[in-house]
Amino acid sequence: MGTEIERKFLVVGEGWRDLGEGTLYRQGYLASRDGVTVRVRVAGETGYLTIKGATQGISRAEYEYVIPLSDATEMLDTLCDRPLIEKTRHRIYWDGLLWEVDEFMGENQGLILAEVELTDTNQTINLPTWIGQDVSDDPRYFNVSLVQYPYRMWGVAE
């Protein structure tokens, strides 16, 4: 079993922009129930199928498999919940760790998040200057939640 241990932060300022190349991501969800998700993703020219377990603190079970690009594209176009998650992911190495800064587009435009995967839930990290509030425990910032309630809808009176 794979385990993902991840912290998630809001990004502040522009200091991160020149630190890593960006790759276009499109992803969608085939199923979501009780915190368990089945996701399809195209990252650049590679397709993935990912199954994630319910989050326990900052960790969860994760299984990810490369699938044919044509299959991933077809699933995104015909089977996934809307809106799709569209973002540019910038991979930035900082103080020995890989940070992934996601700049969202489409229905989630304006949202910029940084994630860092850890080896231990108690791992100490030095935060880059462009890291803001820790939102690891806020489910609104989970990608599956951004499909159900996109960022651009936040603050709109219901």
- CA pair distance 98, 91, nearest whole angstrom: 7
Residues 6+ apart with CB under 8 A from 96: none
Residue 151 known to be catalytic: no
Q: What are phi and psi of 8, to 5 degrees?
A: -130, 135
Of 25, 29, 63, 93, which one is the catalytic site residue? 29
Question: Is residue 150 reached through a cis peptide bond, with omega within 30 degrees of 0 on the bond before it?
Answer: no
Handedness of CA 8, 10, 15, 18 (dihedral sign): positive
Indicate the SS3 state at residue 61.
Answer: strand
- CA pair distance 137, 57, nearest whole angstrom: 7
**CA 22 centroid distance within chain:** 14
- CA pair distance 29, 82, nearest whole angstrom: 8
The residues carrying an active-site annotation are 29
